[in-house]
Chain A
Amino acid sequence: MRLQQTTVLANEPLTPDIFRLTVSLPEELPEPVQPGQFCNLRISGNSHDPLLRRPISISDWDRRLNNLKFVIKKVGRGTKALSRLYPGQKLDLFGPLGRGFPTDHLREGQHALLVGGGVGIPPLLLLAKKLAAKKVKVTAFLGFRSKNDAFLYEEFARYGKIKLTSDDGSLGRCGNVCSLLADCLNQGLAGDSIYACGPLPMLKSLEELAARFPWPAYVSLEQRMACGIGACAACTCRRKDPEPGEDWYRLVCTDGPVFRLGEVELSE
């Protein structure tokens, strides 16, 4: 992790409330970015409002050009302020932080299933890119509210197969992404690992399906954070089965945000 003053190269709207920032790093990152890691972003300057950094997952990393991309949803004041950045402006970046999706166990020719919902989708794009580079087959199940709210799916198509759903049926199959995954599993779809990021109900549906797949599954969690480095204990989540004398919790910022499915409770 490193604190850097990056320069915004591009800010492009992907949907009415989702945008993509591309930033150029002045220094090389000390270690390769793991898909699933995040950065703590803040508009440069001494303004006290908004005060805290915003933890945003990395959606792409170009090592050669030394730039990072973030796909962000406008939710509150901080993300709205980020949406107004224009090329040439400075963005204060602290990262990369956290532990990403493990991929070392997958070999060429094996098959990874990616499951993403809404604004949980962006970190899976960097994962798909990395897996494709390892010649791991990728099938991405991507769920959106509607066609108007859909983004990035064409880019996933570069790295593998895509299976789309939308809540209103305007794009792909009508319904949620886990019910499509369940149907595909019923029809004999097999993989070697599952990776998921999305809203809590989606992750819970995936956990209910877990008995149907024996492969390792990893989920990326979200939690309100302050420090991002494990010091403030704001982003705690409960472990499912701690041994006596062991810690009962994990921190989303440093132990996660990616956890093996079943390691921690999926709750707010």
Chain B
Amino acid sequence: MSKSLETKLGPLTLKNPIMPASGCFGYGEEFAKLYDISQLGAVVVKATTPEPTLGNPTPRVAETPAGMLNAIGLQNPGLRRVIQEKLPFLADYQVPVIVNVAGKSIEDYVAVAEALSGVDVVSALELNISCPNVKEGGIAFGTRPGPAAELTRAVKAVTNLPVFVKLSPNVSDIVKIATAVEAAGADGISMINTLQGMAIDIYRRRPVLANVTGGLSGPAIKPVALRMIHQVYKAVRIPIIGMGGVSSATDVVEFLLAGASAVAVGTANFVNPYIMPEIIAQLPEVLEKIGAKTVQELIGALETN
């Protein structure tokens, strides 16, 4: 197989730069009924918390112009059942598995990271310090450089797995958070999580989402994601997994040029469930069209002067 799509995320080598964004792909089982998920560069599963998390009341999603709001609230069956019931399924596929880790306290993140480090199928961790839809934890670590770095350091101390920190765009200076987690030992950065937003039903004079606010995703946020990745790429040396409204192979190239080493697809999976294999199939053609031989030569190759 051609190596032109290959990319590296620290110690991980991916056969192509395409992976799902956490929360948009369950634990892989549903999409595995549609296509061979080992085609993907990596699989990123839903956030895992130490105990089962019930999530928010419904309605949990609302469509907005060229986007959607969600307020799922990290619903998951908890660490024990994720390890026993969800992750073994992925062992049958030749694909790196990245598990998103969430919690209310540093102890929560450390407990999940430590337990997952002993699970063979797990290739890397993604620290979710950016979920806008839970009241405690999550984004509380993601809006200030100090707590973000402290959490990263605490998790790095208990795991040998590569640790990616998933950043929130709902901050005044994302570069400060990025450089803080890099200094604390993060192996990479995932960005961006959703932008906080809301939708209103004028007839009921109520928010559409039961949670009032939710996280905006989809093509509407792509320009914000590109801008932030570009800014962070210039400031850090660790690799970036870029995401935010990606829905085509040309979008992927934009993210690579902005500085992403790999690209996650989120909302677009709901619009076209076959979007990721389609993008992977189309990438070589787009590379050729722009005169590129490899994915890696495009990473951060944006010219701005």
Contact = CB atoms under 8 A, between A and B. Distances in A.
Contact of B60 (A1, A42, A236): A236
Interface string A14-43: 000000000000000000000000000010
Interface string A220-251: 00011111111111111100000000011100
A191 interface: no
A235 B26 CA distance: 13
**Most chain B CB inside 10 Å of its own CB: which residue of A1, A53, A225, A236:** A236
Contacts of B68: 51-52, 226
Nearest to A78: B63
Contact of B271 (A52, A229, A230): A52
24 contacts: A48-B66, A50-B63, A51-B68, A51-B271, A52-B271, A78-B63, A224-B61, A226-B68, A229-B30, A229-B33, A230-B26, A231-B269, A232-B23, A232-B24, A232-B72, A233-B23, A233-B60, A234-B58, A234-B60, A236-B55, A236-B58, A248-B54, A254-B30, A268-B210
A133 interface: no
Given A50-B63, A51-B67, A231 B219 contact: no
B138 interface: no
Given A48-B218, A49-B66, A224 B59 contact: yes
Nearest to A235: B58
- Chain A interface residue count: which class? 20 to 34
5 nearest A-B residue pairs (beta carbon): A231-B26, A48-B66, A231-B30, A234-B61, A226-B270
A234 B34 CA distance: 20
A84 to B, nearest CB: 18
A203 B23 CA distance: 31
Given A51-B219, A232-B23, A268-B210, A42 B61 contact: no
**Most chain A CB inside 10 Å of its own CB: which residue of B57, B63, B218, B269:** B63
A264 to B, nearest CB: 12
A231 B31 CA distance: 8
Interface of B: 23-26, 30-31, 33-34, 46, 52, 54-55, 57-63, 65-68, 70, 72, 75, 77, 210, 218-220, 247-248, 267, 269-274
Contact of A223 (B26, B59, B247): B59
A101 interface: no
Given A49-B65, A51-B218, A231-B25, A236 B75 contact: yes
A50 B77 CA distance: 32
A236 B55 CA distance: 9
B269 A224 contact: no
Given A76-B63, A78-B63, A233-B72, 13 more contacts: A48-B66, A48-B247, A52-B68, A226-B68, A227-B273, A229-B273, A231-B30, A232-B23, A232-B70, A232-B72, A234-B70, A237-B58, A248-B52
Contacts of B66: 48-49, 51
Contacts of A228: 270
Nearest to A76: B63
A51 B58 contact: no
Contacts of B46: 233
Contacts of B31: 229, 231
Contacts of B30: 227, 229-231, 254
**Most chain B CB inside 10 Å of its own CB: which residue of A51, A52, A53, A249:** A51
Given A231-B26, A236-B75, A268-B210, A3 B273 contact: yes
A224 B54 contact: no
B248 to A, nearest CB: 8
B24 A231 contact: yes
**Most chain B CB inside 10 Å of its own CB: which residue of A1, A48, A76, A254:** A48
A145 B62 CA distance: 27
Interface string A43-67: 0001011111100000000000000
A51 B61 contact: no
Contacts of B63: 50-52, 76, 78
B252 to A, nearest CB: 15
A52 B61 CA distance: 11
B269 A227 contact: yes
Contacts of B267: 51, 226
A94 interface: yes
B62 A224 contact: yes
